[in-house]
């Protein structure tokens, strides 16, 4: 597979949210606005790229039996690094995403890519796969965030263009499920046509 | 197998130790800056050097920051979805609320969470508890509650009322011991 293909695969064919349907917890919980979705996506992408690189480096040396513990320790390390960095340099963002940053450790996407891709492929390919899946996840979360923010608060990225309150349900959990469901239908319909 | 896991864990601990050491100072700074920003919002003329103390009123401990222009009291009550934490700036001889700011809350988005917005909180600016009753209108007070969020509004109001009580206690204890304190 070409290098470019590795990246686009993560965005379209193997889109983590709409096709693989992985990592639903942060997807549903943090996408109350476009900005929150974008920030959560970027945070996950950071961990994903680094953990993919390190896992592909150490994979040949790790015995099969302790494979999963080793991957989880590596992922948890990067998540903690990210958490401390965010607390130090972007405390506002850290406050909004709060609990969902440590939860990246158990995000299926990150362990999934380590297990399904990084431990069988070269460092460069794994990094590209991390970038692709990361961009796919970030874009999906941002799109869900944009739709929910327009319907729920009448604004995009905090820029308000519809006065008033918007449809409350879309800011809350039920709206997250509805938006995700409809976007999934649209996305897969588009994929099936191709 | 054991060797491999040990090596990975050791390496990861080392990475974390370094990150922790690097970020420790900025994190402390960020949290201090946040506290200062909150105090600057709830009190007039804040010089940026708060002194943290605490006082116990009715079995509840209220941490507070004493500044030249007034006192910023941290007051936490139970809201609709969990603890609702406010910083209330109070000043003057007959205590007057200067401003309030929500430090943390877990109220319902779109309903109780509106307590953060100016529409609701602006009414407490310059509130004189002696002249206006700190209770929502439904309970016979003077506070305009948020539509469909009476419980949150009640909690917010209670937090302010508690802070006023704490302020009175602080002022009282300052007067009593005023001569002896250095």
Total Cβ atoms within 10 A of residue B180: 6
Q: Distance from A1 to chain B by nearest Cα, in Å?
A: 31
What is the total count of domains within chain B?
1
The pLDDT score that the predictor gives to residue B6 is 92
Interface membership of A49 toward B (CB under 8 Å)? no
Of the pLDDT bands very low, low, confident and very high (cuts 50, 70, 90), residue B61 is confident
Task: Give mean pLDDT, residues B7-17.
Answer: 93
Asked if residues B74 and B53 have their Cβ atoms less than 8 Å apart, the reply is no
Best B1, B19, B113, B147 member to test A by mutation, with max A CBs in 10 Å, is: B19
Most trustworthy range by pLDDT among A157-161, B128-132, B142-146, B176-180: B142-146
Q: If DSSP codes are grouped into helix, strand and coil, which group holds residue A167?
A: coil
> Which residues from B are below 8 Å from A88, CB to CB?
23, 26-27, 30
* Domain span at B39: 1-182
Most trustworthy range by pLDDT among A47-51, B42-46, B58-62, B105-109: A47-51
Distances from the Cα of A124 to the Cαs of A7, A16, A45, B44, B135, in angstroms? 12, 20, 16, 56, 64
Rounded to 5 degrees, φ, ψ at B71 are -125, 135
Of the pLDDT bands very low, low, confident and very high (cuts 50, 70, 90), residue B33 is confident
| Residues in chain B, total | 182
Sign of CA dihedral A21, A25, A26, A31: positive
Helix axes A34-58, A123-153, angle to 10 degrees: 170
* Domain span at A67: 3-193
Asked if residues A31 and A148 have their Cβ atoms less than 8 Å apart, the reply is yes
Q: If DSSP codes are grouped into helix, strand and coil, which group holds residue B106?
A: coil
Q: Distance from B45 to chain A by nearest Cα, in Å?
A: 24
pLDDT in tens, chain A (194 residues): 688 888 888 888 888 889 888 888 889 888 888 998 999 999 999 999 999 999 999 988 888 888 899 999 999 999 999 999 998 889 888 888 878 898 898 888 999 899 888 888 899 999 999 999 999 999 999 999 999 999 988 888 888 888 877 787 888 888 899 999 999 999 999 888 87
Q: Do A69 and B5 touch (CB under 8 A)?
A: yes
| Residues in chain A, total | 194
Rounded to 5 degrees, φ, ψ at A96 are -65, -45
Asked if residues A80 and B16 have their Cβ atoms less than 8 Å apart, the reply is yes
The pLDDT score that the predictor gives to residue A91 is 86
Which residues 101-130 of B are in CB contact (within 8 Å) with A?
108-111
pTM value is 0.79
The pLDDT score that the predictor gives to residue B176 is 61
Query: Is the predicted pLDDT of residue B156 greater than 80, yes or no?
Result: yes
Interface membership of A190 toward B (CB under 8 Å)? no
Q: Do A172 and B108 touch (CB under 8 A)?
A: yes
The pLDDT score that the predictor gives to residue A47 is 94
Residue partners of A53: CB distance under 8 A and separation at least 6: A118, A123, A126, A127, A130
Listed residue (B17, B50, B176, B146) closest to A165, CA to CA = B146
Task: Give mean pLDDT, residues B101-114.
Answer: 84
Measured CA to CA, the distance from residue B179 to residue B182 in angstroms comes to 8
Measured CA to CA, the distance from residue A117 to residue A128 in angstroms comes to 11
Query: Is the predicted pLDDT of residue B49 greater than 60, yes or no?
Result: yes
Query: Is the predicted pLDDT of residue B87 greater than 80, yes or no?
Result: yes
Q: Do B4 and A66 touch (CB under 8 A)?
A: yes
The pLDDT score that the predictor gives to residue A177 is 93
What is the total count of domains within chain A?
1
Q: Do B111 and A168 touch (CB under 8 A)?
A: yes
The pLDDT score that the predictor gives to residue B180 is 41
């Amino acid at each position: 597979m070409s290098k470019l293909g590795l990246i686009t695969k993560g965005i379209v064919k193997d889109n983590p949210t709409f096709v693989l349907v992985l990592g639903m917890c942060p997807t549903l919980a943090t996408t109350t606005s476009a900005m929150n979705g974008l920030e959560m996506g970027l945070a996950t992408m950071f961990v994903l790229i680094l953990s993919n690189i390190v896992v592909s480096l150490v994979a040949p040396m790790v015995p099969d039996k302790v494979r999963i513990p080793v991957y989880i320790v590596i992922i948890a390390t990067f998540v903690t690094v990210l958490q401390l960095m965010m607390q130090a340099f972007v405390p506002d963002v850290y406050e909004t995403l709060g609990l969902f940053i440590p939860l990246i450790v158990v995000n299926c996407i990150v362990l999934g890519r380590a297990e399904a891709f990084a431990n069988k492929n070269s460092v460069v390919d794994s990094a590209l796969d991390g970038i692709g899946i990361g961009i796919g996840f970030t874009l999906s979360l941002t799109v869900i965030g944009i739709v929910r923010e327009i319907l729920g608060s009448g604004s995009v990225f905090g820029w308000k263009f519809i006065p008033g309150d918007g449809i409350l349900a879309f800011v809350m959990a039920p709206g997250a499920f509805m938006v995700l469901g409809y976007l999934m239908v649209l996305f897969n319909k588009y994929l099936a046509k191709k | 197998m054991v060797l491999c896991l040990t090596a990975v864990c050791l390496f990861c601990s080392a990475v974390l130790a370094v990150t922790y050491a690097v970020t420790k100072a900025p994190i402390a700074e960020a949290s201090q800056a946040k506290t200062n920003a909150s105090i600057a919002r709830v009190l007039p003329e804040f010089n940026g050097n708060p002194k943290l103390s605490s006082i116990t009123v009715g079995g509840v401990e209220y941490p507070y920051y004493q500044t030249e222009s007034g006192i910023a009291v941290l007051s936490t009550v139970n809201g609709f979805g969990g603890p609702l934490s406010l910083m209330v700036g109070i000043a003057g001889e007959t205590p007057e609320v200067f401003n309030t700011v929500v430090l943390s809350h877990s109220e319902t988005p779109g309903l109780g969470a509106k307590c953060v917005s100016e529409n609701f909180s602006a009414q407490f600016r310059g509130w004189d508890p002696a002249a206006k009753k700190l209770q929502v209108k439904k309970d016979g007070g003077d506070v305009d509650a948020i539509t469909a969020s009476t419980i949150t509004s009640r909690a917010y109001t209670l937090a302010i009322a508690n802070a006023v009580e704490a302020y009175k206690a602080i002022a009282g204890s300052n007067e009593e011991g005023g001569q002896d304190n250095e």
